Amino acid sequence: MLYSLKKTVDAVVKNFRTKMFHLRTCAAKLRPLTASQTVKTFSQNRPAAARTFQQIRCYSAPVAAEPFLSGTSSNYVEEMYCAWLENPKSVHKSWDIFFRNTNAGAPPGTAYQSPLPLSRGSLAAVAHAQSLVEAQPNVDKLVEDHLAVQSLIRAYQIRGHHVAQLDPLGILDADLDSSVPADIISSTDKLDLAVFKERLRMLTVGGFYGLDESDLDKVFHLPTTTFIGGQESALPLREIIRRLEMAYCQHIGVEFMFINDLEQCQWIRQKFETPGIMQFTNEEKRTLLARLVRSTRFEEFLQRKWSSEKRFGLEGCEVLIPALKTIIDKSSENGVDYVIMGMPHRGRLNVLANVIRKELEQIFCQFDSKLEAADEGAGCKFNCLPHQARRCSAHLGMYHRRINRVTDRNITLSLVANPSHLEAADPVVMGKTKAEQFYCGDTEGKKVMSILLHGDAAFAGQGIVYETFHLSDLPSYTTHGTVHVVVNNQIGFTTDPRMARSSPYPTDVARVVNAPIFHVNSDDPEAVMYVCKVAAEWRSTFHKDVVVDLVCYRRNGHNEMDEPMFTQPLMYKQIRKQKPVLQKYAELLVSQGVVNQPEYEEEISKYDKICEEAFARSKDEKILHIKHWLDSPWPGFFTLDGQPRSMSCPSTGLTEDILTHIGNVASSVPVENFTIHGGLSRILKTRGEMVKNRTVDWALAEYMAFGSLLKEGIHIRLSGQDVERGTFSHRHHVLHDQNVDKRTCIPMNHLWPNQAPYTVCNSSLSEYGVLGFELGFAMASPNALVLWEAQFGDFHNTAQCIIDQFICPGQAKWVRQNGIVLLLPHGMEGMGPEHSSARPERFLQMCNDDPDVLPDLKEANFDINQLYDCNWVVVNCSTPGNFFHVLRRQILLPFRKPLIIFTPKSLLRHPEARSSFDEMLPGTHFQRVIPEDGPAAQNPENVKRLLFCTGKVYYDLTRERKARDMVGQVAITRIEQLSPFPFDLLLKEVQKYPNAELAWCQEEHKNQGYYDYVKPRLRTTISRAKPVWYAGRDPAAAPATGNKKTHLTELQRLLDTAFDLDVFKNFS
Ligand SMILES: Cc1ncc(C[n+]2csc(CCOP(=O)(O)OP(=O)(O)O)c2C)c(N)n1
Ligand SMILES: [Mg+2]
């Protein structure tokens, strides 16, 4: 302890010395400067507001010669000097005289005059002060005392929150650290004068600040970095401490001094330090009470009616509802008209009812176990069993447009559906917010904003919170500030915070982005409303994230069925004694005469009646309409009864002109005087040659697909790590001028006069966060192609939660269609176990089609119906042309499904992996299956083996077949769309080769890749008439060997198996 104190003091002294040196150098440098140069030098470190000086003065005295400037005072002197430059009256008279004397050229050691008593200000005294006298011996003490007071103020600003009374239960400190910071005079028991005095004594007499009790009534000048003075520029120490206590150590704990922007710090100081700033009108108090009534009585109503249902009630944090409403009111007042929210389980129904204002009967009817779920909503065949529908109630989304009663402005509120996985919805909400901002041209976040709610344990524990914070200020991902609200009930299920996190507060993660954090005791509703107002103002002023930490408690167990006393006996003994916040606040307002008891009771019975009436109406509901629970309706995309507008897909081909035009732009630099890298010139030249030859490679095919959709008004957003250039340096969608820093050009945005914009953005190194974000972006509109590319396909596993919880089952769970595209580089290139496999087996295992049931192949539009029924589409294209088609089909389909594409690596440059324009002209389509079209197809009866494969191995197989001269004996058919499985086309292929045995060939290990998915479906296709053999690698734990030689041996073995026509004989 002593050691650390000494270290702190040493550091402080060192700092002062450095500052002193700086001041001396500063003074020395300043002497020959002109007045305007002086101003410039001093204004550099000051806020914008302080940059205009009324009077310009030169600080030219050799200050080093002043006796009191030889120690630790330079910081303070500099502060005084800056203040004096702005307004000579703002500093103490003695400083005024000192600076005037130095400016007048007073000789060293003579500029200082002893201060006059504050109370005496006569003309005579002033006259006396203006004459130069010798420095007085008590000068050091004066300066050091001022410095001490300044340090004290700063200590409160930095660490006051540690002693703020944040816990309504008074048990745990919200910050897990019960010690009082050594440089704060406050004690947790501030009312106890003896404790107060003792603490002061420890810090003063020969201690930290060098002040003593007698200094308490001395008046000190206040630095410009505090607002506690209000109109006063000096205050007695006793009052300074009292005001600091009021600002920083009551029911609000403000954490902000880590923010490295002076203007922002000043803004916050002003919001919390200005005396009397936290005032509420009686009207505001009554509104707050009414909102607390609703919040509290809603939970009570549910408890009365459905006492055995789990609802993750809000009891203990009822203040959340008025808190959110205050944030929304204030934001609406500042111009926001669309608020997108994401939240976990706790209090969700209450938020739906009382913030979003979902009709109560819609909420209540979910508890009715007899209710049938109907979903004509988004045209999905979702048929949710009643209990499943009810289980969804804690997670379904919501969208509601209404008038904000406080501001009388229209406001749309949407609550994004979330899975049970805590915090997973965070990036999704951000992405949706970004999209809504994008579509309404809100480039600064003035109209659309997001609010994210969190639990304390989840906020601290889930890494996605950190990943999402890191998106908050990135140009292509920022939503210009999110207000985060933490329901900090100081427990996570049964786990105590002391076992759940290593940081003092659950909110510390927010510090990484310099977000201010306002901790507040939730049993003080007015304090809560105040911080919520400030948080909303912060967001609309600085457009940066901010956190409101509602320190509260959880009155019941984790849910209403749970017994909390098993694990938190002492806490719950206290909770049992805890008066509900509504009762406390009502008593306060009654005692203040703001409301009377009958008015209060009237408010309660009014709301209870509303609930009862809605309950009665909910009994009339026969069907649960899931469409009422959509968070992003897509007006106009479906018919009125929620069906797709057609069940067909037009040709995805393009005219030769369009292909050529896009190809030409893709191989040029469409702006003047732009120098690109020599290597890139060669790449563009090759592209140009391809266009002349009417062919495309992978990158050009992608260009064609994107460029043509942009022409059709479809916004395209491609995001992921290094996507602008492409991990494999094949894409080059952003050109960089080699001579001008940061000058870039995106040719894709120079294609057509009225095209839709193209966004391509390198992302942060986060898969979970970025994929979630893009999923959210894709939610907002069906008329955008949103793609996320993994750097290598295997990295998608760190985004598994988004895939498992949202992308795969999203429509089934929430009736939400989503057309997001995942580009997952995949392929065994001998690069070892990392980077080889995008894990196709996992995606295929999650497809919802039945392997054992042959669908009705004669059904009209079989292929489209299949797509309509599936949960997602999984493809592995072997040609650029097919890749082009599948991207375009994604938008031309009359509904939206997630699309998973395993993309190649070596095929990006493979000379055979090229497509002719002919494969992309009008009338052409995506080929779900590419049948054999060589000699084998001419004489199918002669074919001995029909090999099925997908992706890049096709090129190995054709090369080997040619080498073995088996082109007539072995047919090779590519399955390009793995899921939904093309039963119809494959049946035709099998029927075409009556004498062929069937084999599936893949380069992936047997327990991986596609085999387990394809085999049973192929067997079903042929009514199990023949075996389906396997030619591929053996099962393995890792996706690939780390040894190149082994890799090649394995490859050769699988090719040997594929072409050895006797190999399966022994197994027949
Ligand atoms: C990713 C994830 N892990 C675990 C859980 C299980 N779980 C549900 S609620 C909960 C505790 C959450 O505590 P907190 O975030 O403080 O919210 P509270 O319930 O206290 O409001 C846990 C562990 C979950 N839902 N999601
Ligand atoms: Mg909690």
The arithmetic mean of pLDDT across residues 134-159, rounded, is 82
Strand pairing partners for 235? 220
**How far apart, in Å, are the Cα atoms of 192 and each of 187, 353, 396, 545, 815?**
9, 45, 51, 38, 60
- State the distance from the centre of ligand 1 to the C-alpha of 494, rounded, in angstroms: 10
Q: 421: CA distance to ligand 1 center in Å?
A: 8
More reliable by pLDDT, 189 or 109: 109
CA distance linking residue 266 with residue 226, whole number of Å: 8
Average pLDDT over residues 866-889: 98
Q: Which amino acid is at 713?
A: G
Q: Measured in angstroms, how far is the CA atom of residue 953 from the centroid of ligand 2?
A: 51
Nearest-angstrom CA–CA distance, 548 and 535 = 7
Ligand 1 mean position to 948 CA, how many Å?
A: 46
Least confident span in 44-48, 140-144, 691-695, 782-786: 44-48
User: How many whole angstroms from 506 Cα to the centroid of ligand 2?
Assistant: 10
Pocket of ligand 1 contains residue 975 by CB under 6 Å: no
Q: Is the pLDDT of residue 690 over 90?
A: yes
Q: What is the pLDDT of residues 597-654, one digit of tens each?
A: 999 999 999 999 999 999 999 888 766 666 666 666 788 899 887 889 999 999 999 9
Whole-number pLDDT of residue 362 = 86
Decide whether any atom of ligand 1 lies within 6 Å of the 199 Cβ.
Answer: no
Give the pLDDT of residue 66: 45
> Which residues are CB-neighbours of 827 under 8 A, at least 6 positions away?
836, 902, 904, 905, 906, 907, 951, 952, 1003
Please check whether residue 344 is in contact with residue 492, taking contact to mean a CB–CB distance below 8 angstroms: no
* pLDDT band at 180; cut points 50, 70, 90: confident
pLDDT > 70 in the chain, percent: 82
pLDDT of residue 388: 34
* Residue pLDDT, tens place only, 73-88: 555 666 777 777 777 7
Indicate if the pLDDT at residue 139 is higher than 90.
no
Most confident of 366-375, 384-393, 1031-1040: 1031-1040
Predicted pLDDT of residue 111: 56
pLDDT interval class at 96 (50, 70, 90) = confident
- Residue with CA nearest ligand 1 atom 12: 492
Most confidently modeled of 189-198, 488-497, 566-575, 658-667?
658-667
Could you tell me if the CB of 249 is within 6 A of ligand 1? no
Q: In this predicted structure, what is the pLDDT of residue 12?
A: 39
Mean pLDDT of all residues in 497-510: 94
- Rounded to 5, what percent of the chain is helix, strand, coil? 45, 10, 40
51-71: average pLDDT: 36
Q: With a 6 A CB cut-off, is 489 part of the ligand 1 pocket?
A: yes
Residue whose CA is closest, atom 26 of ligand 1? 421
Q: Is the CB of 456 under 6 A from ligand 1?
A: yes
Q: Is 453 in the pocket of ligand 1 (CB under 6 A)?
A: no
More confident residue, 100 or 933: 933
Per DSSP bridges, beta strands 873-875 and 899-903 are parallel
The minimum-distance atom of ligand 1 relative to the CA of 492 is: 13
Distance of CA 455 from the midpoint of ligand 2 (Å):
5
455 pocket-lining for ligand 1 (C-beta < 6 Å): yes
Ligand 2 center from residue 50 Cα (angstroms): 43
CB of 200 closer than 6 A to ligand 1?
A: no
Average pLDDT, integer, range 501-530: 97
Closest CA to 946 of 955, 937, 938: 937
CB of 492 sitting under 6 A from ligand 1? yes
885/387: higher pLDDT: 885
- Nearest-atom number in ligand 1 for the CA of 458 is 15
210 vs 802 pLDDT, higher one: 802
Which structure tokens are listed for 904? Answer: 């190649």
- 458 CA to centre of ligand 1 in angstroms: 6
The 3-class secondary structure across 608-670, one letter per residue, is: HHHHHHHHHHHCCCCEEEHHHHCCCCCCCCCCCCCCCCCCCCCCCCCCHHHHHHHHHHHCCCC
DSSP 47-104: -GGGG--SS-----S-GGGSGGGSSS-HHHHHHHHHHHHH-GGGS-HHHHHHHHHHHT
Span 418-443, pLDDT tens digits: 899 999 999 999 999 999 999 999 99
Span 456-482, pLDDT tens digits: 999 999 999 999 999 999 999 999 999
| pLDDT tops 80 at residue 128 | no
Q: Which residues contact 511 (CB under 8 A, 6 or more apart)?
A: 255, 258, 517
960 CB under 6 A from ligand 1?
no
For residue 424, the ligand 1 atom closest to its alpha carbon is 1
Q: What is the pLDDT of residues 344-360, one digit of tens each?
A: 999 999 999 999 998 99
Q: Whose CA is nearest to atom 13 of ligand 1?
A: 492
How many angstroms is it from 462 CA to the middle of ligand 2? Answer: 13
Would the CB of 487 count as within 6 Å of ligand 1? Answer: yes
Q: What are phi and psi of 403, to 5 degrees?
A: -90, 135
Q: Of ligand 1's atoms, which has the minimum distance to the CA of residue 487? A: 21
Chain center to CA of 964: 55
In this prediction, residue 849 carries a pLDDT of 93
CA of 490 to the centre of ligand 2 (A): 5
Tokens for 937, please give them: 């197809």
Confidence of residue 968 (pLDDT cuts 50, 70, 90): very high
The β-bridge partners of 929 are 975
The pLDDT, as a whole number, for residue 216 is 84
Mean pLDDT computed over 163-187: 80
464 lines ligand 1 (CB under 6 A): no
CB 458 near ligand 1, within 6 Å = yes
What local confidence, expressed as pLDDT, does residue 141 receive? Answer: 81
Q: What is the whole-number distance in angstroms between the Cα of residue 454 and the centre of ligand 1? A: 10
For atom 10 of ligand 1, which residue has the closest CA? 493
| Ligand 1 pocket member 313 (CB < 6 A) | no
Question: Average model confidence (pLDDT) for the chain?
Answer: 86
Mutate to test the pocket of ligand 1, among 312, 490, 493, 806 (most ligand atoms within 8 A of CB): 493
Instruction: Look at residue 127 in the predicted model and tell me its pLDDT.
Output: 42
Pocket test for ligand 1, best of 312, 345, 422 (most atoms within 8 A of CB): 422
The pLDDT-based confidence of 397 (bands split at 50, 70, 90) is low
The predicted structure's pLDDT at residue 105: 58
Residue 8 confidence (pLDDT) above 60: no
Give distance in angstroms: CA of 496 to centre of ligand 2: 9
At residue 194, the pLDDT reads 60
Range name among 22-31, 445-454, 954-963 with the lowest pLDDT average: 22-31
Residues ≥6 apart with Cβ < 8 Å to 1007: 841, 1035, 1036
Atom of ligand 1 nearest to the CA of 554: 20
Spatial contact of 338 and 448, defined as CB atoms under 8 Å apart: yes
E strands of 262-325, at which residues?
none
Checking if the pLDDT of 64 tops 70, the result is no
C-alpha distance from residue 858 to each of 304, 795, 848, 854, 924 (Å): 55, 40, 21, 11, 22
Give SS3 for 911. coil
Q: Which ligand number lies closest to the CA of residue 315? A: 1
For ligand 1, say whether the CB of 549 is within 6 Å of any of its atoms: no
**Is 249 within 8 Å of 163 (Cβ atoms)?**
yes
Q: What is the pLDDT of residue 963?
A: 98
Read off the pLDDT band of 112 (50, 70, 90). low
Q: Check residue 89 and give its pLDDT.
A: 75
SS3 824: strand
Judged by phi (left if over 0) then psi (alpha if -120 to 50, else beta), residue 853 lies in: beta
- Tally the C-alpha atoms within 13 A of residue 541's C-alpha that lie toward its C-beta: 15
- As a dihedral over the C-alpha atoms of residue 278, residue 281, residue 287, residue 290, rounded to 10 degrees, the angle is 90
pLDDT digits (tens, 9 = 90+) for 448-461: 999 999 999 999 99
Peptide bond preceding 980 in cis form (omega within 30 of 0): yes
User: What pLDDT is stored for residue 272 in this prediction?
Assistant: 98
Residue 1 reports pLDDT greater than 80: no
CB distance 420 to ligand 1 below 6 Å: yes
Split at pLDDT 50, 70, 90, the class of 22 is: very low
pLDDT at 53: 28
DSSP bridge partners of 399: 414
DSSP 362-400: HHHGGG-TTPEEE--SSS------HHHHHHHTTT--EEE
Q: Tell me how far the alpha carbon of residue 523 lies from the centroid of ligand 2, in angstroms.
A: 16
Indicate if ligand 1 lies below 6 Å from the C-beta of 491: yes
Å from CA of 388 to ligand 1 middle: 20
Tell me the ligand closest to 314's alpha carbon.
1
Tell me, in angstroms, the distance from the centre of ligand 2 to residue 552's CA. Answer: 9
Top pLDDT among 173 and 880 is at 880
Query: In this predicted structure, what is the pLDDT of residue 543?
Result: 98
| 916 contact partners, CB below 8 Å, separation of at least 6 | 694, 695, 881
Q: Please report the sign of the dihedral spanned by the C-alpha atoms of residue 826, residue 829, residue 835, residue 841.
A: positive
Asked whether residue 142 carries a pLDDT value surpassing 90, the answer given is no
Our answer on whether the CB atom of 457 is closer than 6 Å to any ligand 1 atom is: yes
Bigger pLDDT: 121 or 991? 991
State the pLDDT confidence band at 214, using cuts at 50, 70 and 90: confident
Tens digits of residue pLDDT in 235-284? 999 899 999 999 999 999 999 999 999 999 999 999 999 999 999 999 99
Ligand 1 nearest atom to the CA of residue 493, by list position: 11
Range with the lowest mean pLDDT among 203-217, 232-246, 666-680?
203-217
Tokens of 1001: 């060939």
Quick check: 289 pLDDT over 80? yes
% the chain with pLDDT above 90:
71
Residue 211 has pLDDT above 80, yes or no: no
Confidence check: pLDDT of 404 > 90: no
Q: What is the pLDDT at residue 80?
A: 72
Find the 1052 Cα to ligand 1 centroid distance in Å.
51
pLDDT of 207 higher than 90: no
Mean pLDDT of 740-751: 96
Among 64-73, 399-408, 790-799, which is the least confidently predicted range? Answer: 64-73
Reply yes or no on whether the pLDDT at 31 is more than 70: no
DSSP SS3 for 342? strand
Q: Is any ligand 1 atom within 6 A of the Cβ of residue 997?
A: no
